[in-house]
A and B are shown apart, each in its own frame.
Chain A
């Protein structure tokens, strides 16, 4: 059972960028946003740390069947990094549990999305600030199988609070770039202690 914790400095987010145009639009709008500490929870099947850029490759909390093992990490982060962000790429059940635990510690969702892997298609349903939801969903489509990495690299952009949110659905056919064994329903989310 892997149980690693470290906090990412999201300065790394500037290092890697995909060249899709929706993403560029987001980057352009992010110039004034202050980057903050980042804690990442990822399901073991979603982010392959070995394929990530060097600076973040050892800094993930990898979740598998028992999310309870990681409660302490989340609580400690909330207490020590009140201006930080927590990104999740997890099973739905882990999201529900961690959201509840985060709320107890003053952290709330800024962004949530579901990602459904069906036999022939992939569906991203994004709930975020109304000015960003469509662009984020487009970027996830454009990033193809690298969508988890795209989220990891753009947390400073997608956090805009949960007020005035909108939900956008984007669908794409499943091409060979996607892991064919990946099936089911995953979620991604971003928590912060920002008010509003």
Chain B
């Protein structure tokens, strides 16, 4: 049954086959995948900088119910087989559906795709892990509810997966974990826990108030391996009476500093209420053109080609996207404040729907800022052929000097290693997610090797300057965990202590975000 596939560490073929047979007894054979040549390929990471065999699963199993998960947990506890939980498995750039180590069994929750409740009055939904942004959006449209979702870009991922990975969107509800309220979790021993107010019998406020009494534990189950989230409440934004997206193009690289400092008070005072973005030229351009159309040489695109591309596409070296929402008089007032503020930047140019509609870069951002899912951002992957990519994602203050410092640091390193800087700053309340999309040809071993080395150097560079990453690819989870090392790794030691307590056999997603059970640390 293994066909030369990797097995979990310390598990014999006989034990593995026995466990799979027992899981087939629970799920039936249709939802236990062991064919490495076909079925399991979709659980590998096509974009890893390392050979994908380092993250190849031995099997994937797709339960439909909580009870089935409980039974599977019993089996894998018995055989001490590590499982890797995914909801929809679409977070490419961070590893997709692939597990941290070869041989894990993927616990694929895509079939758990019920939208349990959408409450229009109070503005929330309760969903299972297999519900994608498209699913929830289509459901709300069909029902005619006056609610918006806030989706990731690209939007084929799921609400539970993205939220529990601390993902972000683009409407005023863009901080997904902030908008999460209540979850159901299965612990490694099969115990089902409802968090927050949901911990009461017949709770009437499980999706309305996050905390209940006692510690708020929901965060423990995000970016972690302490349990399997099987249900989540998420707040939804009431459809506003008006919406006006806008873009400001900025002619110079140095304008990043000024736009960041000018945007900061507007964001903090909610004149700009949504998760705004400051996007570099190449990111924007790659929605409609490829690198080869402007530059066929090797290495990063030269300035002359960048300038021509910017002129052709009417883009800036930086492009700031945001929106105003509400009744027209409020939008008009806020837009005037925003226009007055940004007009201080020489060469800044405002763009609106009337003049920009039809441009793929504008269209997809305008949709995202009102919670309409699309897949256009994947066009980035065509910038160079063989669109491999991983994201380097340090957190920056909303401060011009910090933003420019990070940008320069990453741009210089990426050029040194022969890659373009392709990035954006996602402006939150008091931080920015700086996303550097490290693009490489996934068919080129040389480019993969260079990209891998560059990523490691960037982690070190950022840490030396006091910047840490909020999320990362499988390959770098341990290295980034090490950067959170204050006081002899006190934080990660706490994570490990919780892990030992809740999952003594170390079966749930070992190594997720650098949290290893003891038995794996020993091997």
Contacts and interface: CB of A to CB of B under 8 A. Distances in A.
A interacts with B: yes
Interface of A: 64-69, 71, 91-94, 96-97, 99-101, 103-104, 108, 114, 116, 118-119, 162-163, 183-185, 195-196
B37 A162 contact: yes
B376 A66 contact: yes
Interface string B433-455: 00000000001000000000000
Nearest to B375: A68
Interface string B381-394: 11011110000000
Interface stretch (B167-175, B288-296, B395-403, B420-428): B288-296
A68 B373 contact: yes
Nearest to A65: B360
Interface of B: 37-39, 41-42, 46, 90, 92, 110, 134, 154-156, 287-288, 290, 292-293, 296, 360, 363-364, 373-376, 378-382, 384-387, 443
27 contacts: A64-B360, A65-B360, A65-B376, A65-B379, A66-B364, A66-B374, A68-B155, A68-B156, A68-B373, A68-B376, A69-B374, A91-B379, A92-B385, A93-B382, A94-B378, A96-B92, A96-B381, A97-B156, A99-B42, A101-B156, A104-B110, A108-B41, A116-B385, A119-B296, A162-B37, A183-B292, A185-B292
A114 to B, nearest CB: 7
A101 B443 CA distance: 22
A113 to B, nearest CB: 12
B296 A93 contact: no
Given A66-B376, A103-B42, A104-B110, A93 B387 contact: yes
Contacts of B380: 93
B61 to A, nearest CB: 14
Contacts of B376: 65-66, 68
A104 B88 CA distance: 10
B28 to A, nearest CB: 15
A92 B296 contact: no
A71 B134 contact: yes
Nearest to B96: A100
B373 A92 contact: no
A183 B364 CA distance: 23
B37 A163 contact: yes
Nearest to A184: B290
Contact of B42 (A69, A100, A162, A183): A100
Given A103-B41, A162-B38, A185-B292, 20 more contacts: A65-B363, A65-B376, A65-B379, A66-B376, A67-B375, A92-B387, A93-B380, A93-B382, A93-B387, A94-B378, A96-B387, A97-B156, A97-B375, A97-B378, A104-B110, A183-B290, A183-B293, A184-B290, A185-B382, A196-B38
B437 to A, nearest CB: 13
B206 to A, nearest CB: 30
A122 to B, nearest CB: 13
A118 B39 CA distance: 34
Contacts of A96: 46, 92, 378, 381, 387
Q: Across chains A and B, which 9 residue pairs bring their CB atoms closest together, nearest first? A: A185-B385, A68-B375, A103-B42, A93-B381, A65-B360, A93-B378, A108-B38, A184-B290, A66-B376
Contacts of B381: 92-93, 96
Given A66-B364, A66-B375, A93-B379, A184 B41 contact: no
Nearest to B360: A65
Contacts of B156: 68, 71, 97, 101
Contact of A184 (B38, B42, B110, B385): B385
A185 B42 CA distance: 22
A68 B134 contact: yes
Contacts of A116: 385
B156 to A, nearest CB: 7
Nearest to B97: A100
A179 B292 CA distance: 16
Given A97-B378, A104-B110, A68 B385 contact: no
Given A93-B378, A97-B378, A65 B288 contact: yes
Contacts of A195: 38
Most chain B Cβ neighbours within 10 Å, of A108, A114, A185: A185
Nearest to B381: A93
A48 to B, nearest CB: 20
Contacts of B134: 68, 71
B90 A92 contact: no
Contacts of B375: 66-68, 97
B453 to A, nearest CB: 24
Nearest to B373: A68
Most chain B Cβ neighbours within 10 Å, of A91, A119, A162: A91
Most chain A Cβ neighbours within 10 Å, of B46, B155, B292: B292
Contacts of B386: 92, 114, 185
